[in-house]
Structure 1
Amino acid sequence: MMKLENMVRGLASDTIAQRLIQFWEHDEGTLELWRASSNFVYAFERNQVQYFLRFSFEQDKNIEQLKAEIEYMQYLHLNGFPSVTPIKSLSGELIETLKTPEATYIAVVFSAAYGINLDSDTITEKQMEEWGKSLGSLHCLSKKFVPVSERRNSWVDTVHFMESVFQKHPMELIALEELGRVTSWLQSLPTGNDVYGLIHYDFQLDNIFFEENKNHSFNVIDFDDAMYHWYAIDIVTALDDFIDDDNPHSKLLIQSFLNGYRSKMVLENDVVAQFSQYQRYANLYKFAKLLKTLEFEEIIDTPPWFDGLKIKLVRVADELRKTFHGSW
């Protein structure tokens, strides 16, 4: 998630989005905000077909990493994996930059994903199996992917990021100690092609769209967090809404997901037994990103949604802080 001050700035008006959309062919009057989190995302239409404009402050995103993201998405599309695809601008570019006196913005446009979002409360065992199968298929393709130009960051870069955040917050000593334990454990793991590669890292239900009439397939969006990591962490973060639930039905759903995944990828039982350790990394990384989001100077004239969002983020950070402990 971006810094709250940048979110306030970006959502103050649609002016930047309106200027950026001029780089692409579009139907006038169709641009509207879809969501804002790590990026600003606007839906629009071209010839009555929906597309999505995604942009961010240049200071928040690395353009080389964006190029690497696009290359990976194009590779997946060429190999038949159902995911959204980047769309060229009127000048034939996949990435456009807008410089203003206040800031520089980088933007891309993607096709829309067909299908519907499923809900964790109503998802069926069969749908869970198909979801797991989709992630397994993604990892199968990742095993063969060799970037031509830029390379996505790895978990090591996230460790450096977390260190930099925690050093600015000396009161978060427990988090820094937890980072040391998590890092040492990750360094001990094998990094063979069968367990480690380029992952999505946000393969949750809000980023996948289910098409029941097309072989129960999932269309995938938002590769913004893709990185080199252990494939297991992709499973753990995907199942975040289920993995800590002691409900017997949740355990059945998780097993259905793993069955689907194993139909495409080998997943050893000892790796499944380590899910709780991978969860500790995910909690810590999420916590660090929340701290970064909450770093801001005094904001004048905050919008109506600001206080509520800030309270929610602080509450989530407090809950995550409780998961840090010394035992391993």
Structure 2
Amino acid sequence: MMDLGNMVRGVASDAVAQSLVKFWEYDEGTLKLWRASSNFVYAFERNQVQYFLRISFEQDNSIDQIIAELEFMQYLQLNGFPSVTPIRSISGKLIETLKTPEGTYIAVVFSAANGINLDTDTISAKQMEEWGKSLASFHCLSKTFEPVFERRKSWLDTVQFMENVFKEHQGEQLALQELGRVTNWLQSLPTNKDVFGLIHYDFQLDNIFFEENKNQSFNVIDFDDAMYHWYVLDIVTALDDFIEDNKPHSKLLIQSFLNGYHSKMDLDRNVIAQFPQFQKYANLYKFSKILKSLDYGEINEMPSWFVELRGKLVRVAEELRQSFQKTW
């Protein structure tokens, strides 16, 4: 989640996007904002084929981290894992930048993902199983990945980020204490290649596209949260909506996912018992990013969507804050 002030300014004007898309071939008049969250994503067309322009602010996402992200994506594709393709600019670059008085913007372009998004309310047990298989295939490839250029951040980098955020907000002592407990627990876990490696961290339904006609495979997008962590965290974050729903049907769907995952990669029962502890890490990380996004500067005019979004983030932050008061 980006600074809400930057989000307001970016949504109000597409001047930066219009400047950056010119580094690639595109059809005039087709650029449209698609999503704004941790970065800005614009859809555009070239010869009536859709592509996506992703724009990051240098203070939120460094070029080195993007280089590492793209290298991993290319590695996955070379090994047959279905994901979107980074597209080179007219000058042959995968990354283009634009310097402005506000700072430097970093742009990359990706192909569109084939398939459709599935919904938590209608997904079938068979689709859950295929979803689990897809994540396990991802982790199997992660085991053998060794970066040539840059290395993605690790869980320790995120812990440092969270600690800094919580210390900047002096009223968040409970979060800081929770972070200490989670960090100590994570440091006690093994880090061999069978359990630890580069994870996606956002392998949820809005980032995977189901292709029923192609062996029921999933095309994956949005790798910009990838980090070195325990593979089980990818399972926990992927299944977040289902884990929170305590209904019997959701439990059956979770089991279908785990069956699919286990068919391609070992999943120890002891690891499944650790789901709640990994959820605590994920909740802390989400909480820290919300706090950071709410540290926006002065905004002259607040659009209605901003007021609604800010209210939602404040409510979510309070719910997470209350969860830190629970004992382990």
- TM-score bin (small chain): over 0.9
- Alpha-carbon deviations, 1:211-256, whole Å to 9, x = none? 1111000000000000000000000000000012210000000000
- Alpha-carbon deviations, 1:80-120, whole Å to 9, x = none? 10000100000000000011233211000001000000000
Letter of the structure 1 residue corresponding to residue 221 of structure 2: I
1:276 and 2:267 matched: no
1:86 and 2:81 matched: no
Q: Aligned pair count? A: 328
How far apart, CA to CA, are the structure 2 residues paired with 1:245 and 1:217?
Answer: 26
How far apart, CA to CA, are the structure 1 residues paired with 2:126 and 2:218?
Answer: 13
SS at match of 1:317: helix
Shift, 1:289, TM fit: 0.4
Alignment match, 1:298: 298
Summarize the alignment of residues 83-232 of structure 1 with structure 2, pairs less than 5 Å apart: 83-232=83-232
Alignment match, 2:259: 259
- Alpha-carbon deviations, 1:139-189, whole Å to 9, x = none? 000000000010000000000000000001110100000000000000000
Shift, 1:304, TM fit: 2.4
How far apart, CA to CA, are the structure 2 residues paired with 1:15 and 1:312?
Answer: 28
Alignment match, 1:246: 246
How far apart, CA to CA, are the structure 2 residues paired with 1:259 and 1:43?
Answer: 36
SS at match of 2:22: helix
- Alpha-carbon deviations, 1:294-318, whole Å to 9, x = none? 0122311122211111000000111
TM-score, scaled relative to structure 1: 0.99
* Unmatched 5+ stretches in structure 2: none
Moved over 4 A (4+): none
SS at match of 1:305: helix
SS at match of 1:186: helix
Letter of the structure 2 residue corresponding to residue 169 of structure 1: H
1:70 and 2:70 matched: yes
Alignment match, 1:50: 50
How far apart, CA to CA, are the structure 2 residues paired with 1:320 and 1:139?
Answer: 29
How far apart, CA to CA, are the structure 1 residues paired with 2:130 and 2:311?
Answer: 36
Shift, 1:269, TM fit: 0.3
Letter of the structure 1 residue corresponding to residue 310 of structure 2: K
TM-score, scaled relative to structure 2: 0.99
How far apart, CA to CA, are the structure 2 residues paired with 1:36 and 1:107?
Answer: 14
How far apart, CA to CA, are the structure 1 residues paired with 2:101 and 2:202?
Answer: 34
How far apart, CA to CA, are the structure 2 residues paired with 1:100 and 1:6?
Answer: 14
How far apart, CA to CA, are the structure 2 residues paired with 1:158 and 1:95?
Answer: 24
* Unmatched 5+ stretches in structure 1: none
SS at match of 1:298: coil
How far apart, CA to CA, are the structure 2 residues paired with 1:296 and 1:111?
Answer: 32
Alignment match, 1:316: 316
How far apart, CA to CA, are the structure 2 residues paired with 1:125 and 1:102?
Answer: 48
- RMSD value over aligned CA atoms? 0.8
Percentage identity across paired residues of the two chains: 75
Alignment match, 2:233: 233
Q: Note if contact 1:178-1:326 (Cα within 8 Å) is conserved in structure 2.
A: no
SS at match of 2:132: helix
How far apart, CA to CA, are the structure 2 residues paired with 1:205 and 1:227?
Answer: 19
1:12 and 2:16 matched: no
SS at match of 2:86: coil
How far apart, CA to CA, are the structure 2 residues paired with 1:314 and 1:164?
Answer: 20
How far apart, CA to CA, are the structure 2 residues paired with 1:304 and 1:256?
Answer: 41
